């Protein structure tokens, strides 16, 4: 995984490459775009703040945070990944139902899942068990 704040590090990566930024207790993921916005590499994302699909400049996605490059997880060509991602324009964001990780997986034709959501659900289950055990 590459960490970058530098636009130069991402110019050679294919459209559809998954990137992420840390937002406190969670990571926000997006896809490098096949378009340039405001002279920068664009990012396609599915955001709670935007209430769904957004195509934005790299700096708007990063918001001054360090960007991590996860890579290209699927085998679909970049043009297909971009097309699938843009099909989600107009769909509403849902933390549990369809979030940024669901979006990235969907665009790549992978099983639609959210590893972070699964992790939070697991931690919630463990916490619930501990509370139940403490009351017993």
Q: What is the pLDDT along the chain (136 residues), one digit of tens a residue?
A: 455 555 557 889 999 999 999 998 889 999 999 999 999 999 999 999 999 999 999 999 999 999 999 999 999 999 999 999 999 999 999 988 999 999 999 999 999 999 766 555 444 443 444 445 556 6
Domain span including residue 128: 2-135
- For β-strands 26-37 and 18-23, DSSP reports them as antiparallel
A 10 A CB-CB count for 49 gives 11
Alpha-carbon gap, residue 86 to 107, rounded angstroms: 8
Q: Which pTM does this prediction carry?
A: 0.82
Residue 128, pLDDT score = 45
Residue 66, pLDDT score = 94
Quick check: 30 and 45 in contact, CB under 8 A?
Answer: yes
Handedness of CA 107, 109, 112, 118 (dihedral sign): negative
Q: How many domains does the chain have?
A: 1
User: Could you tell me the CATH number of the domain that includes residue 27?
Assistant: 3.90.1720.10
Residues 6+ apart with CB under 8 A from 17: 10, 31, 32, 69, 70, 71, 72
């Amino acid at each position: 995984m590459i960490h970058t704040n530098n636009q130069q590090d991402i110019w050679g990566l294919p459209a559809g490459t998954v990137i992420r930024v840390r937002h406190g207790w969670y990571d926000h993921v997006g896809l490098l775009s096949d378009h340039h916005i405001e002279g920068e590499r664009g990012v396609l994302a599915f955001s709670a703040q935007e209430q769904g699909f957004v195509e934005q400049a790299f700096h708007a996605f990063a918001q001054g945070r360090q960007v991590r490059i996860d890579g290209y997880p699927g085998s679909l060509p970049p043009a297909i990944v971009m097309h699938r991602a843009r099909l989600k324009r107009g769909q509403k964001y849902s933390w549990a139902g369809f979030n940024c990780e669901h979006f990235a997986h969907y665009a790549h034709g992978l099983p639609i899942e959210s590893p972070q959501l699964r992790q939070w659900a697991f931690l919630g289950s463990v916490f619930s068990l501990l509370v139940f055990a403490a009351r017993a």
